[in-house]
Amino acid sequence: MTDEDIILSYQTNKDKSLLTPLFQKYTGDLFGLSYYYLSDRDRAMDVVMDVYEIVLKKIDEKEISNYKAWLMSICRNTCLKRLRDHKSFTELTEFSESFMENNDEREYSDELIDQLLDYIKDLQDEQRVCVEAFYLKKMSYADIEKAYNFENKAVKSYIQNGKRNLKIMFDNINRKE
């Protein structure tokens, strides 16, 4: 049976045990993605459990055409939320202040932080990876080089260009307001 067949069967019968093969099939992928973002085994396992709770709540609401992509999206968003919540609100605020270099007094709300995280997702892949690694995971340039097989100059460039692109995105939103 395909993933979608299993989901349809569950949605028809409401028997949670029908989802067990899907949970078993993707637990390793979920853990790997969670560990990639959080760099902590216990927190990564907590995210996997949270993802399955979210899936059980939302699976009846959605028509799911690609279960794995949907599942990984939930996992990534859960990890980013955890990073925001656990890495502390101030670290992301400091990041947004540093690249925006604005003198105006601004309140950094959860909405602004969510907006920043959404903008990071919109960066080119290399820029996104380097910005997330450097600012959210607090990795050094050398660690990023090793982890992602980038050259030192490339890491610096990706981070600098990513910051510039984030500033442009924020400036465009501020002009519209």
pLDDT in tens, 119-159: 888 889 999 999 888 877 888 888 899 989 999 889 998 98
> Domain 89-176 is of which CATH architecture?
Orthogonal Bundle (1.10)
In the chain, which segments carry CATH 1.10.10.10?
89-176
Write down the pLDDT at residue 94. Answer: 56
Write down the pLDDT at residue 12. Answer: 86
Q: How far is CA 3 from CA 39, 48, 75, 157, in A?
A: 29, 18, 17, 41
Would you state the structure tokens that stand for residue 163, as one six-digit string? 């910051």
Contact 122, 137 (CB under 8 A): no
For the four alpha carbons of 76, 82, 85 and 91, in that order, the dihedral sign comes to: negative
> If pLDDT is split at 50, 70 and 90, which confidence band does 106 have?
very low
More confident residue, 118 or 107: 118
- At 120 the three-state DSSP class reads helix
DSSP character at residue 101: -
Would you state the structure tokens that stand for residue 149, as one six-digit string? 């097989």
Look at domain 3-86 and name its CATH class.
mainly alpha
The answer, yes or no, to whether residue 18 has pLDDT greater than 70, is yes
Compute the average pLDDT of residues 85-104. 50
> Which of 97, 100, 90, 83 lies closest to 136 in space, CA to CA?
83
More confident residue, 31 or 61: 31
In the chain, which segments carry CATH 1.10.1740.10?
3-86
